[in-house]
Structure 1
Amino acid sequence: MNFNYIKYFYFIGIGGIGMSSLARYFHKTGKIVHGHDKNRTFLTKELEKEGILINYYDCIEILPEWVTSNKCLIIYTPAIPSNHKQWTFLKKHAKNIKKRSQTLAIITENETCIAIGGTHGKTTTSILLCHILYVSGVSFTAFLGGISENYNSNIILNGKKFFLVEADEFDHSFLYLYPNIACITSLDQDHIDIYPKKEDLKKAYINFSNKIKKPYKKIFLCKEDIDIFLKKNAIYYSITEKESYYSNHLHVEENKWYFDFHTPKEIWKLLPLPIPGKHNLKNITAALAISDYLKIDRKKIRKALSSFRGIKRRYSIHYQSKNKIYIDDYAHHPTEINALIDTIRESFPNKVILGIFQPHLFSRTKFFEDYFAESLGKLDILILLDIYPAREFPIYGVNSERILEKVKISYEHKEVSSISKVLEKIGKKNFDIILTIGAGNIDTLIFPIKEFMHKRYG
């Protein structure tokens, strides 16, 4: 498809992080962009401020008249339910329809593409790599799976030498891509509705690795997490073994983290770790390895690390006083929750942590029920919210109460709550750190909790 002949774009599910980056891309390139989402969120409000029109009611009457013309492309996410009225109408009457992943593949098919995949870490890796490219003056366009704190956006238009994208495994989306350079940060079972067995996920990633093309034709793999790719074009990186690229000597000095980075030719000493934690060291090592492979100047890379401000909803500190801290994080998988809590324990030892967690998806909650209970048991106090269904319908017998029963925290320090009653409950708790965790609409608590912390603790 040639987008030069498309004047209008209509997004169903425009508020999604991947959908919104595409919407911003076409809007910034002069196209007329409208969209639909079920809820007005911080992200949709930002899109509206930028001039993108969004409706929030699932009815056909409010669709613009051009949605069925030859000059319009409908872009949808697989997360849209099958009984959605606008989607049902457009499937029948629209002339051009593409998935989000298909659209991204068309944009990048004739470009030099860098694709970052992996169950965990792809957003951190891609946004840090994006910042390194920008600080280094490299020509590139980036479609990101999170909001960069440096640029307050998930789309960066800074030229076209490289196209940096996230390779999303959900619904096999990444298999539409044909990158020149790829990275797989981790391979942990997730998206159970798509990959019932881990072997299914492995096969999908093998298929993805087989799509890497010339020039470059390189794939970067995390040695700790990837055990199925033994390819001539693979470059391994690690934080525990001496591979082509590896990082070590992670340590804390005056509440700041530092590490050493090893390339095939030299050692970069005492680099600042802009986001704390061993899991983030893996992601940062991946971004540094790709940067060095692309021959980006070492001094500019160090400058980028020092100026990196992070990612919204990734270890985001929203309040910090002498005695109290509030941190928000997108973690929604047991592995991610473990890494998050371990990092906080190491950064702030001997503190009482109150965690507020919102499970995301019934299928994920059912499959990882015991693992969620184990990871949440690392908290001192737990407020467990109801499951956020997203695209799914409830599964009989799957609920937050079942997880709570298995969490090894005393009953007086754990409970299930609706999201509307959270502020009332935290006001009665004794804690040093508040931690909000999850991928649903738990982010709507960020501002109220920040306001609560400022009012109570100054």
Structure 2
Amino acid sequence: MKGIENIKNVYFLGIGGIGMSALARYFKFTGRNVAGYDRTQTALTDTLQEEGIDVHFEDDIKHIPSNWNPASTIAVYTPALPDDNEELAWFKSQPIGLFKRAKVLGIICNEKSGIGVAGTHGKTTTSTMVANILNKTEKGCGAFLGGISKNFRSNLLLPKADSPWIVAEADEFDRSFLHLKPQLALITSIDADHLDIYGEKEKIVESFEKYISQIKEGGKLVIKKGVEIDRSKTSADIFTYALTEDADFAPVNLKLDEENSFYRFDLKTPEGTIANCRMNYPGLVNVENTIGASALAFFAGATANEIKAGIEDYEGVARRFDIRFKSDQKIYIDDYAHHPEELKAFISSVRALYPGKKITGVFQPHLYSRTQDFAAEFATSLDLLDRAILIPLYPAREEPIPGVSSEIIFDKMMIDAKVLAEKEEALELLKTDSNDIIVTMGAGDIDRMVNGIVDYLENK
């Protein structure tokens, strides 16, 4: 598959995934016929159907369009799809191009000047912020995002015809980001994760080093200060960013507007300072993400005023430091955090934003393998809460591992106020909770609790 210009029909296996749905929207909005399968109906699949995409939830080849010409058809699948999927097996037996999501994304992005945001956490917020800033420029950008942008109301931003830039999350899972060859790249973090794929952290680092070796000639690499990687692996010009350390890009005179719970700062760049930047999106961790995003936008040609405007009207991403309810008595924040470092950064940011307030957290572990590998680290991060409620883990693509459950995290936690509960019980526990702040955390189906919590708090 050299290009996509001759493709008229695209079928998606796992169309409800956040990355898959962005691609599905791209092909639909550029005039192709699009259909697909997912095992679970969600709000996202409902939206795809509303946009005219045929989505079904039964693994049966009878749903695959029979009138599509194989010569102008491709099928796209996610590596999270189980090997025994009947539709996947059918496509493998047909004269139809069958490609992983990452390969198709690479083909689209590599035809333009790509901006790749990599890292074991922070990708979605940072890439969405980059897109929001560049959308203020005359030529704009396109973007494939790992979450639903509240500014764009979508995980896809279609580029203008003459736009040179396309922003994409460079996902390390399954080494997906090795299909990208960006002009500008950023690394937010390299922590041990996806050990079911990599086996050890050294292999993760090697994969990131391969990624930066693919930056196009004349490109630039922005790295968070302190991230350890062999910089000789790339010929790109390298710059750093940081929240509290000295770096090429950093906030100066950082202040919290306590009345509105947002941050103000001056942005240090290699060519001077951009004064009076104001965020309307909370969280100290997101100040750091904003600095990285601003660096990429700076190198993509955004002016100081465009950077400031993009920072100020950034509304965030669903499930990323997502304040769902706020009153004088209670605050509720939902977040996608599912790695110990993400939990630590999120909870610490809540503490910094609301000093002195008590926090109750509901956490759903994601994947048996990640829970087994990082049980102790999860416990340490959750001990930053005043009260913790652990619900059963979400297996996603994995089969159970004997002896692995939320309980192995629970047993290692040191705080006294901790509870193991079924998901259905968690809301009842929250109804008797007296702490000031509630947070929900996880990458599984914990998001299905969110509306119930909001409804309770609004009607309390």
**TM-score interval for Structure 1 and Structure 2 normalised by the shorter chain:** over 0.9
Q: Pairwise mapping of residues 188-337 of structure 1 onto structure 2 (< 5 A)?
A: 188-214=191-217, 216-230=218-232, 233-254=237-258, 255-337=261-343
8 A contact 1:80–1:391 mirrored in 2 = yes
**447 and 326 in structure 1: CA distance in 2 versus 1, 3 angstrom threshold:** same
Work out the CA distance in 1 between the residues paired with 2:408 and 2:133. Answer: 44
Alignment RMSD: 1.6
Work out the CA distance in 2 between the residues paired with 1:97 and 1:305. Answer: 39
- Partner of residue 18, structure 2: 17
Work out the CA distance in 1 between the residues paired with 2:192 and 2:68. Answer: 38
Q: CA deviation at 1:320?
A: 0.6
Q: Pairwise mapping of residues 21-420 of structure 1 onto structure 2 (< 5 A)?
A: 21-66=22-67, 69-93=70-94, 95-159=96-160, 160-214=163-217, 216-230=218-232, 233-254=237-258, 255-410=261-416, 413-420=417-424
8 A contact 1:258–1:273 mirrored in 2 = yes
Q: CA deviation at 1:67?
A: 6.2
8 A contact 2:182–2:215 mirrored in 1 = yes
Query: Residue 93 of structure 1 aligns to a residue in which SS?
Result: coil
Aligned length: 453
Work out the CA distance in 2 between the residues paired with 1:51 and 1:109. Answer: 28
Q: CA deviation at 1:445?
A: 0.9
Work out the CA distance in 1 between the residues paired with 2:142 and 2:454. Answer: 34
Moved more, 158-167 or 189-198: 158-167
Residue 221 of structure 1 aligns to which amino acid in structure 2?
Answer: I
- Partner of residue 427, structure 2: 423
Work out the CA distance in 1 between the residues paired with 2:82 and 2:192. Answer: 24
Residue 365 of structure 2 aligns to which amino acid in structure 1?
Answer: P
Work out the CA distance in 2 between the residues paired with 1:264 and 1:448. Answer: 47
Residue 442 of structure 1 aligns to which amino acid in structure 2?
Answer: I
8 A contact 2:262–2:281 mirrored in 1 = no
Moved more, 251-260 or 94-103: 251-260
8 A contact 2:150–2:317 mirrored in 1 = yes
Query: Residue 388 of structure 2 aligns to a residue in which SS?
Result: strand
Work out the CA distance in 2 between the residues paired with 1:94 and 1:42. Answer: 33
Deviation string for 1:44-64 (max 9, x for gaps)? 111111111111112223222
Work out the CA distance in 1 between the residues paired with 2:69 and 2:424. Answer: 40
8 A contact 2:129–2:290 mirrored in 1 = yes
Moved more, 25-34 or 297-306: 297-306
Residue 277 of structure 1 aligns to which amino acid in structure 2?
Answer: G
Query: Residue 338 of structure 1 aligns to a residue in which SS?
Result: helix
8 A contact 1:12–1:75 mirrored in 2 = yes
Deviation string for 1:86-134 (max 9, x for gaps)? 2122222251101000001111232211111111111111100100011
Deviation string for 1:11-32 (max 9, x for gaps)? 0111111101000000000111
- Residue 439 in structure 1 maps to residue 443 in structure 2: yes
Residue 454 of structure 2 aligns to which amino acid in structure 1?
Answer: K
Work out the CA distance in 2 between the residues paired with 1:139 and 1:265. Answer: 22
Residue 163 of structure 1 aligns to which amino acid in structure 2?
Answer: I
Query: Residue 193 of structure 1 aligns to a residue in which SS?
Result: helix
Moved more, 290-299 or 173-182: 290-299
Which contiguous aligned blocks of 4+ residues in structure 1 show a shift greater than 4 angstroms? none
Residue 63 of structure 2 aligns to which amino acid in structure 1?
Answer: I
Moved more, 295-304 or 315-324: 295-304
Work out the CA distance in 2 between the residues paired with 1:427 and 1:128. Answer: 35
Query: Residue 194 of structure 1 aligns to a residue in which SS?
Result: helix
8 A contact 1:386–1:417 mirrored in 2 = yes
Query: Residue 384 of structure 2 aligns to a residue in which SS?
Result: coil
**277 and 16 in structure 1: CA distance in 2 versus 1, 3 angstrom threshold:** same
Work out the CA distance in 2 between the residues paired with 1:147 and 1:4. Answer: 27
Moved more, 371-380 or 57-66: 57-66
Q: Return the TM-score normalized by structure 1.
A: 0.95
**110 and 155 in structure 1: CA distance in 2 versus 1, 3 angstrom threshold:** same
8 A contact 1:67–1:74 mirrored in 2 = no
Q: CA deviation at 1:379?
A: 1.1
8 A contact 2:209–2:229 mirrored in 1 = no
Q: CA deviation at 1:75?
A: 0.2
Deviation string for 1:123-182 (max 9, x for gaps)? 111100100011223332111111110111011013231111111111011111111111
Deviation string for 1:367-418 (max 9, x for gaps)? 00000011111112211111101010010111111211111121xx322222
Query: Residue 135 of structure 1 aligns to a residue in which SS?
Result: coil
Work out the CA distance in 1 between the residues paired with 2:11 and 2:352. Answer: 46
Work out the CA distance in 2 between the residues paired with 1:93 and 1:381. Answer: 54
Q: CA deviation at 1:66?
A: 4.1
Work out the CA distance in 2 between the residues paired with 1:143 and 1:42. Answer: 19
Moved more, 122-131 or 243-252: 243-252
Moved more, 320-329 or 232-241: 232-241
8 A contact 2:142–2:159 mirrored in 1 = yes
Work out the CA distance in 1 between the residues paired with 2:324 and 2:274. Answer: 32
Work out the CA distance in 1 between the residues paired with 2:95 and 2:79. Answer: 17
Residue 170 of structure 1 aligns to which amino acid in structure 2?
Answer: F
